[in-house]
Structure 1
């Protein structure tokens, strides 16, 4: 038996092959970047699924070439990927059409019908508008309406994780903890919804087109000959059910309960906790299945979160982009060094980060208010960082209210967490200590934890986390900055949406 677990982390902009040892030390990292998506029509976001598979193959072959001894000791593979992105496969595993990604904005014209009983019950709790929006935004519905020939050819409707698992094992299986999206999944009971269940009334996807589900830590299948030829991985290595990138991040930072929050400062920013009890932080918005079996991740997300930084770089930061190329560093490093040039509150500039229709705020838009002639592009940059933070802080309030537990500390991960300045802003804005662990690759670490538990290296996830997750950096709140942010949140930010909502509705028309 080999020593190591290979974690495959497929994000929106890159795929990484990561090998951690049983103590949580990152031994190997190989990364392949790709364009996040392409748009055939405005608002569409599609990708050729082979981009992900080819990247996985390239990463594995590179690890084998660079670290042959470590590569030969791999005896588990665990996949973690971006969420709510669909891949359609035929009976023989052929790709039917490009993947539709989580940031895609296409909609059908009319929501799917549901039984009178469900109409009455959903209307009674005041959530019919939300249910209709879920149905309108379901990618499967769009394919059914506009590409019926493709839907007819579809044997399995998969998440990206399910696609990569299939390519490795030729099994149409995926982890329970990866089923996050516009699909008929029963989040309370960790299974596909029954034919007359509420989710099946909202998302009309035939049961036979859905994959078989495996609990996190269970065996999806074993690496097949074809995958061996393309990746270099040994035939027969077990592929283990992992979880979504956010769920693996939450495990990878050691967030085990409702007293700790995991904040992901990635392309889709989010705040999660881990709970053994089912509760909805926002009414009708289910907690997601955690990577810890039979546990939940109540979550609030800021749609397109730190993707906004990519937008800012493209539109306002060509100077830093050019300098960064010369210095062979990321442009964010140069931008983040300038964050402390701007005071907390950005001299009165406030950003509302609703860059995309959320489930509870379907008409929401992004807004920046408070401009004056002394504001610079770096003010805008810091305002974006703070605005995402305010949105996540609002999410914290929802989670604490529903769980009836006061969160004590914040664990951060994702691209934004690499910046000390952003971590300090987070500590000041939340008025709570913020911690980073030993690696920025927390999704991969979470996936590796699943792998080591599955191979019997640890008897429980709790034991694995104690041995593999190590606190590295601490950021404590600055009382003066805390007061600035409290005043802005209470008196300005928390009121912006309701003030602008009528205008957003007019703009939608």
Structure 2
């Protein structure tokens, strides 16, 4: 067998970059993490930005550390792929140099002026009740903010790409990106998996020209080869093949093996999501597109809780620093100690309920979104709040499941769970109990990286297609069986308390927004 029997996946997150090495069976052989500190800068309220070169430097640092720890690994790499955070925008000049920092997916700034749409489109959107949605889309588009607020920089822009496209160019010297990475405020045709036709309204809605965008490549196809300069920087062979993979969430779904409509990938990450994958394009939320999967011709039906397991980080920072310190002294994860403290508390956290709508979603929840914790009594402790957060996220994901099932007329019968939160046994058990379904943890928590590696394996011809690669490279992890008594308790809480809670609180949230404005304001 050739000594080139390893696959390199680069996973570019918000807080770190990971260099991951897998074999053809999906086994993780090496993992190097390079942290990004701080994850972003906020020069003004609502801003979230980072120098694009910081991500490249983190890739270089991770690969150098990989070679230090595994000196023989570079010679064994057969191919590589990159997966990255979605919707982080990079704008470059004619010399391919970034013009200002990358605008992060976390950014909340809004354009005060946006391109005017033709009257015909405005009338159609008004009839469909979409005027507010389209206006929100236009004001959230980074290109429109730049056109309105930094016009000179906007005029100098030669390239408008997502972070993944910028990094692919640093690797290969060509302006290409994965079809599956195009999730953002771009003139993209999600149904046809390509840039929108020249007659599409998005070209009038967003201040981006067609020649500023990269060429799109389907997952598993080659993007190019490592340039000599990139190869030297990363310690890899010049000419090494770089293959198209997709955005982090798309690769996560693939890395969980959730490539049929009955299997849901639940991601307990910073943004919590529930996804199913199918070959038919269908919008499970009206006028919100299905995203391109990391499999050619497939789409993911996605429901997001924007501030998902971010809530756990928020809770630890604001209310549990002593627990974090105690865990560090014991050389344990803080979540492990928190799991122990919530284990004696029964389903429902003794009547404490968290509504995890800390931030607006895509149409649902709306721009007035606020979170809520209700049901406090003098018996509740921090442990109750923590458990209620886990339960609130599980309830919100169950709502997403029901929306997907209603729209697609098909049941979800299996849960594959990934993301940092999946390492918590209590979170896994709560999810199984709230859904009333067995919940299976992925065999590796590096599922986004595994999805990228699967695309590399297909691109190298190691497997005939993605289904064959998934069968060989994705394996079952820990299995959590729902408790019948807990199922009944959670079903009552969900139906009688949680479901409809947002609708009941919405008028209050709207009054708060009127009084205090939004973070972006």
TM exceeding 0.5:
yes
Rounded Cα–Cα distance in structure 1 between residues aligned with 2:183 and 2:238: 30
Aligned: 1:77 with 2:80: yes
Among residues 295, 298, 306, which one is paired with 1:303 in the alignment?
306
Rounded Cα–Cα distance in structure 2 between residues aligned with 1:111 and 1:97: 20
Among residues 23, 37, 42, which one is paired with 1:39 in the alignment?
42
Secondary structure of 2:499's match?
A: helix
Q: Which residue of 1 is the match for residue 16 of structure 2? A: 14
Rounded Cα–Cα distance in structure 2 between residues aligned with 1:164 and 1:331: 33
Aligned pairs for 1:334-483 (under 5 A) are: 334-360=337-363, 361-483=366-488
Q: Deviations over 1:360-392 (max 9, x none)?
A: 112111111111111111111111111111111
Instruction: Say whether the 8 Å CA contact 1:5–1:21 is kept in structure 2.
Output: yes
Rounded Cα–Cα distance in structure 2 between residues aligned with 1:51 and 1:304: 24
Rounded Cα–Cα distance in structure 1 between residues aligned with 2:314 and 2:376: 19
Alignment length, in residue pairs? Answer: 509
Structure 1 position 333, deviation (Å):
2.2
Aligned pairs for 1:193-208 (under 5 A) are: 193-208=196-211
Structure 1 position 502, deviation (Å):
1.3
Rounded Cα–Cα distance in structure 2 between residues aligned with 1:465 and 1:485: 33
Secondary structure of 1:274's match?
A: strand
Deviates more, 1:202-211 or 1:28-37: 202-211
Rounded Cα–Cα distance in structure 1 between residues aligned with 2:96 and 2:339: 44
Deviates more, 1:356-365 or 1:193-202: 193-202
Secondary structure of 2:183's match?
A: coil
Rounded Cα–Cα distance in structure 2 between residues aligned with 1:175 and 1:466: 23
Rounded Cα–Cα distance in structure 2 between residues aligned with 1:150 and 1:299: 34
Among residues 147, 150, 153, which one is paired with 1:150 in the alignment?
153
Aligned: 1:506 with 2:511: yes
Among residues 128, 133, 136, which one is paired with 2:136 in the alignment?
133
Secondary structure of 1:386's match?
A: helix
Structure 1 position 438, deviation (Å):
1.3
Deviates more, 1:253-262 or 1:63-72: 63-72
Structure 1 position 33, deviation (Å):
1.7
Aligned: 1:3 with 2:25: no
Q: Deviations over 1:246-278 (max 9, x none)?
A: 111100111011101001100111010001001
Structure 1 position 449, deviation (Å):
0.4
Q: 1:268 to 1:171 in 2, by over 3 A?
A: same
Structure 1 position 36, deviation (Å):
2.0
Structure 1 position 122, deviation (Å):
2.2
Structure 1 position 182, deviation (Å):
1.2
Structure 1 position 89, deviation (Å):
1.9
Instruction: Say whether the 8 Å CA contact 2:114–2:148 is kept in structure 1.
Output: no
Structure 1 position 54, deviation (Å):
0.8
Instruction: Say whether the 8 Å CA contact 2:74–2:235 is kept in structure 1.
Output: no
Aligned pairs for 1:284-295 (under 5 A) are: 284-295=287-298
Instruction: Say whether the 8 Å CA contact 1:349–1:380 is kept in structure 2.
Output: yes
Cα RMSD for the two superposed structures: 1.3
Structure 1 position 56, deviation (Å):
0.4
In the superposition, the TM-score normalised over structure 1's length comes to 0.97
Task: List gaps (5 residues or longer) in structure 2.
Answer: 515-521
Task: List gaps (5 residues or longer) in structure 1.
Answer: none
Instruction: Say whether the 8 Å CA contact 1:173–1:213 is kept in structure 2.
Output: yes
Rounded Cα–Cα distance in structure 1 between residues aligned with 2:138 and 2:339: 40
Secondary structure of 1:56's match?
A: helix
Q: Deviations over 1:334-356 (max 9, x none)?
A: 22232313221111111111121
Instruction: Say whether the 8 Å CA contact 1:186–1:199 is kept in structure 2.
Output: no
Structure 1 position 50, deviation (Å):
1.8
